[in-house]
Amino acid sequence: MSLRTHPVLGGLLALFLALTGLVALPAPSHAATPVCALACDTLDPSRARQESFPVPDRNINGRILRLHVSDPDDMAWASIDDGVPGDSVWLDRSWDRGATWEPLLGKASIPGTWTGTRTLMYNITDPVGHRRGWIRACADAAAVTCTDWVYPTVCDGSRCDGADPATAAGDDTPVPSTSLFGRTISLHVDQSGGMAWGVVADGAAGDEIWLDRSWDGGASWPEGSSLGRTSVPSGAASARTVMVATRDPRGLLYGGAVRACGRAAGHQEGSCTAWVRPAPTRARAAADALMASYRTDEGWWRSSWWNSAVALTTLVDFAERTGRGDYDWAIARTFEQNRGIFPAGARSSDPVEGHFISRAVDDAAWWAVAWLTAYDRTGERRYLDEAVTITDYVHQYWDTGTCGGGVWWDRERTYKNAVTNGLYLWLATALHQRIGGDTVWGARAATAADWYLASGMINSSGLVNDGLTAGCGNNGQTVWSYNQGLAIGAFTQLWRSTGDGRYLETAERLADAAVSSPALTRDGVLTESCDLGANSCDDNQKQFKGIFVRHLADLADATGSAAYRAYVVKQADSIWATDRDSLNRLGQRWSGTSPNPSDWRTQSSALEALTAAARLTGSG
């Protein structure tokens, strides 16, 4: 810790305080780089949403040093009271469990005539940077002292670091053990509790076993190295660590990975297992991995605008269908951070003009779907109002002057296609269902349905081609699963609203075609044309299949069809068995064939299938 401006005196004082037990000895790290999570460092404490005091105050020559924490903000500040002018207070923040720290954050001195002061607020952890921090309050009042660090222990509900493996609800070894000088080092996981521990066996006294924990899938682990480190006692051949948690909801860190590492006595070399993320359930495992890519500071999944709307819809679907509210905070965060105006390149290649609207009509419509889903989850009127605003915008591009109706794909009115019109039909129906006494949106939905059925976009095989030609005929372009799914979902909901059997018959015809045609299904697994051979799907196409399954599951709910239910469950089973790695990352190809890239878009798509299967089977 840097205690004085003079380096020699500062070093001597730090050593003295360390030896007397007032301050830990490890050296400070470099100056702090501002951290932004739900807010950026240096937020005024008057804006804190909560105030708690998780560690004891310290008395320093009659002054009261206090650490204040706002868990909803994931931030802390320090104060000193009963002091005199010149007394100072600050925060230290460490990213490596107190080995080094960023010192003197927000340092403030008591001004003349005052008896106390406080710092500004600083983030305790950094979910964007995949770092879990510790923070403490320090003061200089004719001597220097600090509070205890907060929070040294990770807790996920009632499960915390340090628990005895004997209390685990299960014992799974999800990856192969590793061997070192005849010792066996294995990683053990309580899947349902998301806890892990390590075991060294076939060893000798002095052998060591420990866990590493990473918040970025094993790329780094400064805070989580050598957790639970223990040695084989004399006369024994094995030892195990305590358990550690793999989720830190307080710090907005999800999808933590662990590995077991060991060292044989008398040797410097160590060996570790592969990294693992626990899987309490299929859907929860996939959701945790998806949230590891969420930008808490910006409120979206960076680099794809409409895809982020679909990812949020998927996340809300997960919460609604499984009863897990872990990520409900992300609904408001996404809304509040993104409803404004953004220049081209900030969120989309096009400017975003406010209310999630841009020149791409279908992009805006995906956000309307997200906010209707959020409204269903939360009951907050602002989300319904936003969906109405966006869908009003989409309706502006309904044009009977070309092809007799239909919504244009873009503001330049260059193309009438299946995705934009499937979205419009679903949205108009959904608004009619949610707005009491509505007649406007219901009438628009009926008009849009008649136009869609007569448009020719549904071909003779019952498959939806991409759109219409300039001459208003089916353009014969690629059959994509999301176009098929949107039409299934829209006509299913129209049937729920009106009871008109032709809508349900249309939804079933579209579904039967999709699950039986090689254009969309191969060996029972949903397959895009870009999933075949050496093809690759672009960032948009990676998310299509999840949209289809969401709407097919809705039809399965509506009809009670065992065949549709079995198809959805087949997708989830194939994803889990063939398309998942030890970090629960889910790839583009649900059949597991190569090449099979994975990113947050493929994760979101597969999560929708896992959620749909859980919804239909009641498996949570």
pLDDT of residue 2: 29
Mean pLDDT, the chain, rounded, equals 94
Report pLDDT digits (tens) over 28-85.
445 578 999 999 999 999 999 999 999 999 999 999 999 999 999 999 999 999 999 9
Confidence of residue 27 (pLDDT cuts 50, 70, 90): very low
Residues comprising the chain, all counted? 620
User: Residues 446-463: pLDDT tens digits?
Assistant: 999 999 999 999 999 999
Residue 132 scores a pLDDT above 80 = yes
For 270-291, how does the pLDDT look when each residue is reduced to its tens digit (9 = 90+)?
Answer: 999 999 999 999 999 999 999 9
What does the pLDDT read at residue 267? 94
Q: 157: pLDDT confidence band, cut at 50, 70 and 90?
A: very high
**Confidence check: pLDDT of 3 > 80:** no
- Of the candidates 101, 152, 121, 97, which has an alpha carbon nearest to the alpha carbon of residue 42? 121
User: Does residue 15 register a pLDDT over 90?
Assistant: no
Name the band, by pLDDT with cuts 50, 70 and 90, for residue 619: confident
Average pLDDT over residues 102-111: 98
Q: 92: which 2 tokens?
A: 């230290």
β partners of residue 81 = 64
Strand order across the 134-140 sheet: 102-109, 88-94, 134-140, 144-146
Supply the pLDDT for residue 618.
87
Q: What is the pLDDT of residue 26?
A: 40
At 368, is the pLDDT very low, low, confident or very high (cuts 50, 70, 90)? very high
Q: Would strands 341-342 and 227-231 be described as parallel, antiparallel, or unpaired?
A: unpaired
For residue 511, pLDDT over 80 is answered with yes
The predicted-structure confidence for 386-441, as pLDDT tens digits, reads as follows: 999 999 999 999 999 999 999 999 999 999 999 999 999 999 999 999 999 999 99
Amino acid 31: pLDDT: 57
**pLDDT tens for residues 180-223?**
999 999 999 999 999 999 999 999 999 999 999 999 999 999 99
Residue 620: band (very low, low, confident or very high) from pLDDT cuts 50, 70, 90: low
> What token pair was written down for 88?
């100072």
DSSP helix/strand/coil, 405: coil
Return the structure tokens found at 323: 């009863």
In the predicted model, is pLDDT for residue 17 greater than 90? no
Angle between helices 481-498 and 418-434 (to 10 degrees): 30
Nearest to 314 by CA among 329, 331, 335: 331
Query: With 60 as the cut, is the pLDDT of residue 14 above it?
Result: no
Q: How confident is the model at residue 616 (pLDDT cuts 50, 70, 90)?
A: very high
Looking at the predicted structure, is the pLDDT value of residue 8 above 50? no
Kindly report the pTM of this predicted structure: 0.92
Domain 282-617 architecture: Alpha/alpha barrel (1.50)
pLDDT digit string, tens, across residues 314-357: 999 999 999 999 999 999 999 999 999 999 999 999 999 999 99
The token duo for 495 is 């049937």
Q: Looking at the domain covering 29-152, what would its CATH class be?
A: mainly beta
Write down the H helix ranges in 221-360: 282-291, 305-322, 329-338
Domain boundaries, the chain: 29-152, 156-272, 282-617
Contacts (Cβ under 8 Å, ≥6 apart) of 44: 120, 121
Residues 6 or more apart whose Cβ sits within 8 Å of residue 546: 310, 314, 604, 605, 606, 607, 608, 609
- Which tokens is 611 given? 């959620």
Q: Judge whether residue 101 has pLDDT over 50.
A: yes
Cα 17 to Cα 3, 24, 25, 146, 253: the distances in Å are 10, 8, 8, 10, 34
